[in-house]
């Protein structure tokens, strides 16, 4: 007698959920596995283009697609909001849909901006982590006539950790092209005693910042900001005035994860770093920014995690043994300014090496939205 | 160690910058006079945490080798 068709339920329709669903569809027989994705976004924005769009280096229209158009044939997409998760009974509840049962659940709900953690943020700061904010910032930069710009992040962790330095290099390039660099001071703030989390990449980036005349404030953990006097203050007692503040907002995991008991107050879920399952549940997995893994919160990470997890679930569904583990592999290309970029490869045990920058890496970055929407998101690479 | 910690953070197994961020979080939540202790296995934190404690104007009580991990102790002075 043939086994009953299994049911995989993926929570989240961002990069992690979409890649996971499409990869899993490629790896499994639809007669053996049903795949449902539940999420509530209308559009899918390719966030890495936030370091291009504010400067007019890319048109934002190429960076957005309707969410529902991005799932492969055989993936059932449900546009709804999950309101509770019941791991013991293998089910979730969603607003209009009601109860949905599963055999495997993959939590790919990402994280959120917790601007409530930094009073004054919404009045004073700009950022480039959503399309709406990025377009506002583009307008603000178009009006900018010179002065002091402060760039940085409100806290750790954030999505795409290299983005603040990428943005800073692009800003430097943009101001040079507009003839405003001489009349503008760029100040880069960072919470650690370097300019990036990974020491060897940090050395490379810090040298470039010095060459470009970017002023660096290390060990600057944002404590408060005053929109009236336009001053940013650190826990360490330093104050930096600004004319334009570009600050990546504080992040937290989704509140639903805390409310459901899957995460602590931070909202990030503790998962097995080599197998991506939650605690001792062998049918509950977490991928992407929702985890508290010690690696970058980025689409590139979700991509590598999904490759591992899709193979694992597919093997189990088809009755094959699977002995591999996820070792924290990630690869990403980051801009270093002047149409140059570096590509970093790293894992839990191997830190990245930043040896050289190149124009071909910049081209790779510039075209990455096309690669993302046509191949990576579709699960075919 | 003379003073008993007011708060102990067990960040063993967590990688940089996790332990330092946990320490900063505890600092923000604490009050002047608190003694905060962090257990860590991450070598980078051994350098990062004391640097942050000094820069922030607080007191580094000490760094102590324990069995399989180390302990960094700070006193909140501001």
A208-227 tens-digit pLDDT: 999 999 999 999 999 999 99
Looking at the structure, do residues A245 and A299 belong to the same domain, yes or no? no
Specify if B58 maps to a domain. yes
Q: Within this chain, do residues A95 and A204 fall inside the same structural domain, yes or no?
A: no
Chain B interface mutation, best of A194, A235, A297, highest count of B Cβ atoms under 10 Å: A235
Considering the domain architecture, whether residues A26 and A119 belong to the same structural domain is answered as: no
**What CATH number did the domain enclosing A245 receive?**
3.50.50.60
Chain B residues touching A193 at Cβ < 8 A: 47-48, 51-52, 55
- Residue in A199, A221, A294 nearest the CB of B18: A294
In a domain, A188, yes or no: yes
Distance between CA atoms of residues A245 and A249, nearest Å = 11
ipTM score assigned to the predicted complex: 0.86
Q: Is B57 on the interface with A (CB under 8 A)?
A: yes
Backbone angles phi and psi of A310, in degrees to 5: -65, -40
Domain tally for chain B? Answer: 1
Nearest CA in chain A to B77: A236
In whole angstroms, what is the distance from residue A133 CA to residue A253 CA? 20
- Whether residue B28 lies inside any domain: the answer is yes
Enclosing H/E stretch for A105? strand A104-107
Angle at B56 between CA A222 and CA A208, to 5 degrees: 65
Domain contains B19: yes
> Does any domain span residue A361?
no
Q: How far is CA B29 from the centre of its chain?
A: 14
CB-based contact A191 B17, cutoff 8 Å: yes
Cα distance between residue A107 and residue A115, in whole Å: 23
Same domain, A309 and A221: no
A351-363: b or e for each residue (b if 16 or more CB lie within 10 Å)?
ebebeebeeebbe
Residues in chain A closer than 8 A to B52 (CB atoms): 192-193, 219, 236
Q: Does A347 map to a domain?
A: no
pLDDT at A237 over 70: yes
Query: pLDDT above 70 covers what percent of chain A?
Result: 99
On whether residue A283 sits in a domain, the answer given is: yes
Mean pLDDT, rounded, for A19-39:
97
Q: In this structure, are A104 and A143 located in the same domain?
A: no
Which of residues A249, A272, A288 is at a domain's end?
A: A249
Q: Which of residues 36-55 of B touch A (CB under 8 A)?
A: 44, 47-48, 51-52, 55
- Residue B60 structural domain: 7-75
- Short-list A326, A332, A323, CA closest to A298: A332
Residues A281, A203 share a domain? no
Q: Do residue A200 and residue A321 come from a single domain? A: no
pLDDT digits (tens, 9 = 90+) for A91-140: 999 999 999 999 999 999 999 999 999 999 999 999 999 999 999 999 99
Give the CATH number for residue B50. Answer: 3.30.110.40
A266 at B interface, C-beta within 8 A = no
Residue A176 domain boundaries: 114-249
**From B14, B17, B55, residue closest to A236, measured CB to CB:** B55
Whether residue B22 lies inside any domain: the answer is yes
pLDDT(A1) > 80: no
Same domain, A189 and A293: no
Tell me whether residue B24 is in a domain: yes
Neighbours of A107 (CB within 10 A): 31
Residue A219 lies in a domain: yes
What distance in Å separates residue B77's CA from the closest CA in chain A? 12
Instruction: Kindly state the average pLDDT of the residues A258-284.
Output: 95
Mean pLDDT of chain A: 96
pLDDT under 50: residue ranges of chain B:
none
How do residues A174-207 score in pLDDT, each as one tens digit? 999 999 999 999 999 999 999 999 888 999 999 9
pLDDT 10s digits, A65-95:
999 999 999 999 999 999 999 999 999 999 9
Q: Is B16 one of the catalytic residues?
A: yes
**The last residue of a domain, from among A220, A249, A278:** A249
CB contacts, 8 Å: B16 with chain A: 197
| Structural domain count, chain A | 2
A160 and A57 together in one domain: no
Question: Are B21 and A236 inside 8 Å of each other by CB?
Answer: no
- Is pLDDT of A53 > 80? yes
Exactly one of B6, B8, B16, B30 is catalytic; name it.
B16
Q: Do B55 and A193 touch (CB under 8 A)?
A: yes
Do A134 and A84 share a domain, yes or no? no
Domain final residue pick, A224, A249, A274: A249
């Amino acid at each position: 007698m043939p086994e009953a068709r299994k049911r995989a339920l993926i929570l989240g329709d961002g990069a992690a959920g979409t890649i996971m669903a499409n990869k899993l569809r490629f790896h499994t027989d639809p007669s053996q596995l049903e795949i449902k994705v539940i999420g509530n976004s209308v559009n899918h924005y390719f966030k890495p283009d936030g370091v291009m769009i504010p400067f007019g280096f890319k048109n934002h229209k190429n960076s957005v697609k309707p969410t529902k158009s991005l799932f492969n044939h055989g993936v059932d997409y449900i546009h709804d909001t999950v309101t509770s998760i019941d791991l013991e009974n293998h089910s979730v509840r969603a607003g209009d849909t009601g109860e949905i049962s599963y055999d495997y659940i993959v939590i790919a709900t990402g994280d959120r901006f917790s601007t409530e953690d930094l009073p004054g943020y919404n009045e004073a700061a700009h950022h480039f982590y959503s399309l709406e904010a990025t377009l506002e910032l583009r307008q603000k930069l178009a009006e900018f006539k010179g002065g002091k710009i402060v760039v940085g992040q409100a806290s750790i962790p954030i999505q795409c950790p290299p983005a603040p330095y990428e943005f800073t290099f692009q800003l430097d390039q943009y101001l040079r092209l507009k003839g405003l660099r001489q009349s503008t001071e760029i100040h880069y703030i960072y919470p650690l005693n370097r300019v990036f989390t990974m020491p060897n990449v940090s050395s490379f980036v810090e040298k470039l910042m010095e060459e470009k005349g970017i002023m660096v404030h290390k060990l600057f953990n944002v404590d408060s900001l005053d929109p009236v006097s336009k001053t940013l203050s650190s826990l360490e007692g330093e104050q930096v005035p600004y004319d334009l503040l570009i600050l990546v907002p504080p992040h937290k995991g989704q509140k639903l994860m805390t409310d459901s008991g899957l995460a602590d107050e931070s909202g990030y879920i503790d998962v097995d770093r080599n197998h991506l399952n939650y605690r001792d549940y062998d049918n509950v997995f977490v991928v992407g920014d929702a985890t508290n893994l010690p690696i970058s919160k980025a689409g590139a990470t979700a991509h590598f995690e999904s490759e591992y997890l899709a193979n694992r679930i597919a093997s189990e569904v088809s009755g094959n043994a699977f002995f591999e583990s996820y070792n924290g592999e990630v690869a990403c290309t980051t801009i270093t300014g002047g149409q140059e970029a570096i590509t970093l490869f790293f894992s839990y045990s191997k830190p990245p090496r930043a040896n050289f920058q190149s124009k071909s890496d910049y081209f790779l970055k510039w075209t990455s939205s096309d690669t993302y929407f046509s191949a990576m998101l579709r699960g075919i690479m | 160690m003379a003073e008993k910690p007011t708060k102990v953070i067990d960040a063993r197994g967590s990688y940089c910058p996790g332990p330092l961020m946990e320490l900063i979080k505890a600092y923000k939540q604490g009050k002047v006079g608190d003694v905060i202790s962090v257990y860590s296995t991450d070598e980078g934190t051994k350098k990062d945490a004391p640097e942050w404690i000094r820069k922030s104007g607080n007191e580094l009580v000490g760094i102590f080798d324990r069995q399989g991990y180390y302990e960094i102790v700070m006193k909140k002075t501001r």
